[in-house]
Amino acid sequence: MRETQERKNPFVSLSGLPVARLYTKDDLKDWDPEHQLGVPGEFPYTRGIYPTMYRGRLWTMRQFAGFGTASDTNARFKYLLSQGQTGLSVAFDMPTLMGLDSDDPRARGEVGYCGVAVSSLEDMERLFDDIPLDQVTTSMTINGPAAILFAMYLAVAERRGIPSDQLDGTLQNDILKEYIAQKEWLFPPEPHLRLITDTIAYCSEHVPTWHPISISGYHIREAGSTAVQELAFTLYDGLTYVDAAVNVGLQVDAFAPQLSFFFNSHNDFFEEIAKFRAARRLWAREMEKRYHPQNPQSLRLRCHAQTAGCSLTAQQPMNNIVRTTLQALAAILGGTQSLHTNSMDETLSLPTQNAVTLALRTQQIIAHESEVANTVDPLAGSYFIEQLTNQMEEGAREYFQKLDAMGGMLNAIEEGFPQREILEASQRYQREVDKRERIIVGVNDYTEEKYHSIPLLRISEESENTQLERLTSLRTRRDCAKVTEVLQAVQQAATTRRNLMPYLIDAVKARATLGEICVALKEVFGTYQESAVL
Amino acid sequence: MENMEVLKNRITYGDVRAVSKLITMLEAQDPFGNAVVKSLDSLPSQASIIGITGYPGAGKSTLIDQLTTCYRAEGKKVGILAVDTSSPRTGGAILGDRIRMQSHWSDEHVYIRSMATRGHHGGLAKATGDAIQVLEAAGYDVILVETVGVGQEEGQIIDLAQTVVVVVAPGLGDDIQAMKAGLLEIAHLVVVNKADRSDADATVHALRNWVSHVIPTIALNGEGIHAVIDAIDAHQRKIVEQHTYRS
Amino acid sequence: MTVATIPLRILIGKVGLDGHDRGVKLVARALRDAGMEVIYTGLHQTPEQVVNTAIQEDVNAIGISVHSGAHNYLLPRVLELLKEQEADDIVVFAGGIIPNEDICWLKSKGVRALYLPGTPMEEIVQFVRGLHETVLPLTERIGTGKRDT
Ligand SMILES: Nc1nc2c(ncn2[C@@H]2O[C@H](COP(=O)(O)OP(=O)(O)OP(=O)(O)O)[C@@H](O)[C@H]2O)c(=O)[nH]1
Ligand SMILES: [Mg+2]
């Protein structure tokens, strides 16, 4: 009897999918490896988007960084590059993310806290001081005001004489997941979509190696979704952007190869690996079916991954190092193109230099010591992994059908559908944790009375003051008449169908600030009040 | 009772803290509160009491936000009572109507109070009627009452409000039949909100077969709001005339 | 209704600019399920907005979530405004990413309780339930009204 007794009933994945005791060939009865896997670098890309994957080149180790003033962050960037990091990733502070200048009353107390404050072209220049923009790739996590920050980046490159076709990097620029999960928008959805198609069109013509959008599931997952929901809503968002770009007259092959994705890598090891594999297969199939691109590059889903911030605990913070290691390994076995590993102190504050270094070392150890990167898609053919990959794809397709029936993602958001699905999932999870059906080490089991104190990064008030002084000085030095003129030009162009990018570039060059440009645009585009789902 | 006089005075001066506390007492069926409200009875009032009812999610709160903007432009003080359901099982409630009414948060002449039904039926809380009286006494010129999103259940709002506005969203279809014996009976005017949707015209036409005042609006951007205000004003004038005629 | 059966009224919302509302929504639901009336204000509230709402809604407590690191400015500001309005009988509690050192400081300023991510919902519910004990009889909570006149 003993031998058949089990520890739990039922066993379920982190996302609530049932998990059987054993997987066998019966679970893959009609499964045809040629159809479902293919070879790496070929349709449907299940095994990876390149034939050699990490044997050719390791993934890009890209740690998200930003705090205080542009100069503070510039120093952190240089440190990370000196430690072997291979790409930059900018975290902006909340006011910047919301399109507010550092001296806006609503920015009070938040300047430089969650990221770096960038209110003007001059801040952007300081941020990349002495960093060769034609040699690094830069990722910018910015959404609502993405086009404006991008305009600043382009203007900095121009001043340094770097041609725009030598710039490489990524703009997050994904507004749909803001409405769904992260809630940082400036305007109603339609004008935001227009700004996105403007950046896509501008890049396809002038900055061909840039990724104008990074369609993100990360935040959807952080808001409490399941893996299937993350996969479904993210890919459906992607299709919505493709639709929008095609509708303004772009050829799918002119921009689809530059689309990129951004996923969360959470605790359930196998489920996450299956999610990455299913994402590539589903995207290739849907793009093929819906748009028939000529260029196979248009079918390839390339992605960045970040370990799950929401899985970190304030209790026993050192445990976070271990969680992050497992999550990083899952993303790598899943075949990600770049990766951010969270630092152990991130549930408490922005990471300290030591914590960030350790997080980077985690990736380096996996890359060079674990030998997992020696062969492509090592888990293929596992009954369990392939069955899970199928389940992920099917689950996402069911959501696709529902979203299609609602008339697309914008309608679904207005009805609160994805928001509600995520809230229900997050409540289910919370209940399981509260009832201790799920054990979180150090939180609801194996707890310790003792508080583990770890060193934290503090943003000095001095940083905020410096930033405010710089902004005041800029406002007095610049040509005010010129600023008024460029802002009017932006507003004027906003009322037409013309591409806004050249106007935004002119505006930032004239030292119009982020906040001023956003206010000007709000006058044309209006604002948005969420349909709160409770 | 000295206390009572003090509170009554503070209410008539429009002291927000006092108004809020008194409504809490009334919700709790507190005898002192009841006594205060009885004593307010005798005070004269000119307030327009307007009920906003209709299906869940039709845009009642958004519409109230826009109506408030118009009334404020006319210099009127606006009091809003937003009623939502209590869970019959736990007695708890999440009251979220104010999220849609945030344009006026810094305006001291706009008062918004969320009320849970606490087991009361008919789309209102037991204390809503008394709360209206408190707001009248506190000098609010317009009192807007949002009922819970009603469906089949006939609204009690008709007993409290002078003018009842029923808000619907496009795409009613067969529901109009069901509404005839309920919502439409109590409506002085029907607003077809979300007129930005393609099926709005059809709904407006279908409803015009049954009620005379049907107004399309887009509460999100304020389109059609002035027509609603005009229709409410016209109805209010009619009441006053009838009233004068009778007396 | 006896005092104990009158539902507590709790304002739940987010101050500051960040949009991480997963936690507050779960708290709002948990309090509702515990029989309380939750006034949910949504995102991006200023301390002034929160305090105005709290007074109009006559809540017993304000629960706010901050994930942007601005808690050391925003929370004391809420307390200060409550005091100015003679409404400091309203209990303030908060949740978010708040380092231990700040927790001590904020408590000394008058924030009654602070919750980090990972706190069991039941703990928060128990805390709020406990407020029933400290709720003053209604007639003693009216304040003087002197501020307005
Ligand atoms: N398209 C469109 N949407 C609108 C309009 N007015 C309101 N909405 C949306 O409809 C949803 C519900 O609006 P509310 O004002 O909360 O509706 P309500 O009738 O008060 O809802 P309940 O109180 O929950 O019954 C929100 O998402 C609004 O943004 C409109 O004119 N057009
Ligand atoms: Mg409402």
Report if residue C1 sits inside a domain: no
The answer to whether B99 contacts A526, with C-beta atoms less than 8 Å apart, is no
Task: Give the 3-state DSSP-derived string for C41-65, with helices as H, strands as E and coil as C.
Answer: EEEEECHHHHHHHHHHHCCCEEEEE
The answer to whether B105 contacts C9, with C-beta atoms less than 8 Å apart, is no
- pLDDT band at B58, cuts 50/70/90? very high
Positions of chain C with pLDDT under 50:
1-4, 147-149
Taking phi over 0 as left and psi of -120 to 50 as alpha, with beta for the rest, C36 belongs to beta
Give the gap in angstroms from C-alpha B57 to the nearest C-alpha of chain A: 9
Atom of ligand 1 nearest to the CA of B221: 31
Q: Look up tokens 């009812």; give the residue.
A: B53
Q: Does ligand 1 come within 6 angstroms of the Cβ of B56?
A: yes
CB A263 within 8 A of CB A222: no
- Ligand 1: centre distance to CA B57 (Å): 5
Residue-range domains of chain A with CATH? 55-434 (3.20.20.240), 464-525 (no CATH)
Least confident of A345-349, A478-482, C32-36: A345-349
- CB atoms within 5 A of ion ligand 2 belong to B 60-61, 97
Q: Does ligand 1 come within 6 angstroms of the Cβ of A531?
A: yes
Report if residue C134 sits inside a domain: yes
pLDDT digits (tens, 9 = 90+) for A416-454: 999 999 999 999 999 999 999 999 999 999 999 887 777
Report if residue C146 sits inside a domain: no
The answer to whether C42 contacts A459, with C-beta atoms less than 8 Å apart, is no
pLDDT at C139 (0 to 100) = 60
CA distance C23 to A427: 10
The answer to whether C49 contacts B18, with C-beta atoms less than 8 Å apart, is no
What mean pLDDT do residues A405-409 have? 97
CA distance A392 to A396: 6
Which residue from A433, A452, A435 is spatially nearest to A443, judged by alpha carbons?
A: A433
pLDDT digits (tens, 9 = 90+) for B90-111: 999 999 999 999 989 899 999 9
The answer to whether B20 contacts C143, with C-beta atoms less than 8 Å apart, is no
Residues of C with CB under 8 A from a CB of B: 1, 3, 6-7, 9, 28-29, 31-42, 48-49, 52-53, 55-58, 85-87, 138-139, 141-143, 145, 148-149
CB C105 within 8 A of CB C84: no
Considering every ligand atom shown, identify the ligand nearest to the alpha carbon of residue B81 and give its number: 2
**Residue whose CA lies nearest to ligand 1 atom number 9:** B59
DSSP sequence for B5-68: HHHHHHHHTT-HHHHHHHHHHHHTT-HHHHHHHHHHTTS----EEEEEEESTTSSHHHHHHHHH
What mean pLDDT do residues A499-505 have? 98
- Over its C-alpha atoms, chain A yields an Rg (Å, rounded) of 23
Question: Looking at domain B4-246, which CATH architecture does it have?
Answer: 3-Layer(aba) Sandwich (3.40)
- Cβ neighbors of C60 (< 8 A, separation 6 or more) are C8, C9, C10, C90, C91, C131, C135
CATH number reported for the structural domain that contains residue C86 in this entry: 3.40.50.280
Structure-block tokens of residue A168:
């490489």
**Is the bond leading into C7 cis (omega within 30 degrees of zero)?**
no
pLDDT at C147 (0 to 100) = 46
The answer to whether A529 contacts B221, with C-beta atoms less than 8 Å apart, is no
- Model confidence, pTM: 0.92
pLDDT at A318 (0 to 100) = 95
**Residue whose CA lies nearest to ligand 1 atom number 10:** B59
Q: What's the order of all strands across the beta sheet hosting C9-15?
A: B93-95, C37-45, C9-15, C61-66, C91-96, C113-115
Using DSSP's 3-state secondary structure scheme, residue C133 falls into helix
pLDDT at C148 (0 to 100) = 39
Half-sphere exposure of A522 (CA within 13 A, CB side): 16
Amino acid identity, position B148: V
What are the two backbone dihedrals, phi and then psi, of residue A11, each rounded to the nearest 5 degrees? -90, 130
**Residue whose CA lies nearest to ligand 1 atom number 26:** A531
pLDDT at C2 (0 to 100) = 47
Which residue from B136, B137, B144, B135 is spatially nearest to B104, judged by alpha carbons?
A: B144
| Angle (deg, nearest 10), helices A417-434 and C22-33 | 70
Within an 8 Å CB–CB cutoff, is residue B94 touching chain A? Answer: yes
What are the two backbone dihedrals, phi and then psi, of residue C90, each rounded to the nearest 5 degrees? -80, 125
Amino acid identity, position C36: M
Within an 8 Å CB–CB cutoff, is residue B25 touching chain C? Answer: yes
Structure-block tokens of residue C115:
């919750």
The answer to whether C117 contacts A314, with C-beta atoms less than 8 Å apart, is yes
pLDDT digits (tens, 9 = 90+) for B148-159: 877 656 678 999
pLDDT at C92 (0 to 100) = 98
Q: Does ligand 1 come within 6 angstroms of the Cβ of B218?
A: yes
Amino acid identity, position A21: R
The DSSP code for A443 is T
Considering every ligand atom shown, identify the ligand nearest to the alpha carbon of residue B217 and give its number: 1
CA distance A85 to A77: 9
CA C29 to each of CA A444, B207, C40, C133: distance values in angstroms, whole numbers, following the listed order: 21, 38, 10, 22
Q: How much is the ipTM here? A: 0.93
Atom of ligand 1 nearest to the CA of B218: 31
CB A153 within 8 A of CB A134: no
CA distance B240 to B47: 12
Domain borders along chain B are 4-246
Residue A526: list chain B partners with CB under 8 A: 221
Nearest to A110 among C21, C70, C122 (CB): C70
Q: Does ligand 1 come within 6 angstroms of the Cβ of B193?
A: yes
CA distance A247 to A193: 11
Buried b (16+ CB within 10 A) or exposed e, A320-337: bbebbbbbbbbbbbbbbb
Angle among Cα C134, C140, C145 to the nearest 5 degrees reads 125
What are the two backbone dihedrals, phi and then psi, of residue B54, each rounded to the nearest 5 degrees? 140, 180
Asked if pLDDT for residue B6 goes beyond 50, the answer is yes
Q: Does ligand 1 come within 6 angstroms of the Cβ of B166?
A: no
The answer to whether C120 contacts A310, with C-beta atoms less than 8 Å apart, is no
- Cβ neighbors of B2 (< 8 A, separation 6 or more) are none
CB B119 within 8 A of CB B88: yes
Q: Look up tokens 């070879």; give the residue.
A: A39
Which has more confidence, B126 or B185?
B126
pLDDT digits (tens, 9 = 90+) for A40-70: 999 999 999 999 999 999 999 988 889 999 9
CA distance A487 to A517: 6
CA B161 to each of CA A484, B39, B145, B158: distance values in angstroms, whole numbers, following the listed order: 50, 21, 8, 5
- Ligand 2: centre distance to CA B196 (Å): 19
- Ligand 2: centre distance to CA A107 (Å): 30
Q: Does ligand 1 come within 6 angstroms of the Cβ of B220?
A: yes
* Average pLDDT along chain A: 95
pLDDT at B154 (0 to 100) = 60
Give the gap in angstroms from C-alpha C35 to the nearest C-alpha of chain B: 4
How many Cβ contacts (< 8 angstroms) between chains A and C? Answer: 98
- Ligand 2: centre distance to CA B60 (Å): 5
Considering every ligand atom shown, identify the ligand nearest to the alpha carbon of residue B54 and give its number: 1
Least confident of A273-282, B72-81, B101-110, C135-144: C135-144
CA distance B79 to A33: 67
pLDDT digits (tens, 9 = 90+) for A143-200: 999 999 999 999 999 999 999 999 999 999 999 999 999 999 999 999 999 999 999 9
**Is the bond leading into A10 cis (omega within 30 degrees of zero)?**
yes
> Which ranges in A223-268 belong to alpha helices (H)?
227-247, 252-255
pLDDT at B196 (0 to 100) = 92
Mutate to test the interface with A, among C14, C17, C38 (most CBs of A within 10 A): C17
Residue C89: list chain B partners with CB under 8 A: none
CA distance A430 to A132: 46
pLDDT at C6 (0 to 100) = 87
Amino acid identity, position C125: V
From chain B residues 83-102, the ones with a CB under 8 A of any chain C CB are 86-87, 90-96, 98-99, 102
Q: Look up tokens 């104010």; give the residue.
A: B98
The answer to whether B102 contacts A532, with C-beta atoms less than 8 Å apart, is no
Asked if pLDDT for residue A531 goes beyond 90, the answer is no
Give the gap in angstroms from C-alpha A157 to the nearest C-alpha of chain C: 30
Report if residue C14 sits inside a domain: yes
Considering every ligand atom shown, identify the ligand nearest to the alpha carbon of residue B53 and give its number: 1
Beta strand pairing status for A60-61 and A64-65?
unpaired
pLDDT at C1 (0 to 100) = 46
- Cβ neighbors of B194 (< 8 A, separation 6 or more) are B58, B59, B169, B170, B200, B218, B219
- Cβ neighbors of A508 (< 8 A, separation 6 or more) are A120, A121, A124, A148, A151, A152, A155, A517
Give the gap in angstroms from C-alpha B182 to the nearest C-alpha of chain A: 26
CA distance A258 to A212: 7
The answer to whether B96 contacts A534, with C-beta atoms less than 8 Å apart, is yes
CA distance B27 to B21: 10
CB B111 within 8 A of CB C56: yes
**Residue whose CA lies nearest to ligand 1 atom number 24:** B57
pLDDT at C149 (0 to 100) = 33
Residue C142: list chain B partners with CB under 8 A: 7, 17-18, 21
pLDDT at C141 (0 to 100) = 59
pLDDT at B149 (0 to 100) = 79
Which residue from A104, A2, A216 is spatially nearest to A468, judged by alpha carbons?
A: A104
Which residue from A66, A102, A2 is spatially nearest to A473, judged by alpha carbons?
A: A102
Within an 8 Å CB–CB cutoff, is residue A349 touching chain C? Answer: yes
CA distance A516 to C148: 37
- pLDDT band at A87, cuts 50/70/90? confident
Atom of ligand 1 nearest to the CA of B63: 15
Q: By residue range, what is the domain housing residue C48? A: 9-141
Q: What's the order of all strands across the beta sheet hosting B163-168?
A: B110-116, B78-84, B142-146, B48-54, B163-168, B189-192, B214-216
Asked if pLDDT for residue B41 goes beyond 70, the answer is yes
Positive or negative, the CA dihedral B97, A425, A336, A368 is positive
What's the total number of domains in chain C? 1
For A391-470, where are the E strands, in sequence order? none
Chains that touch A (3 or more CB pairs under 8 A): B, C
What are the two backbone dihedrals, phi and then psi, of residue B175, each rounded to the nearest 5 degrees? -60, -25
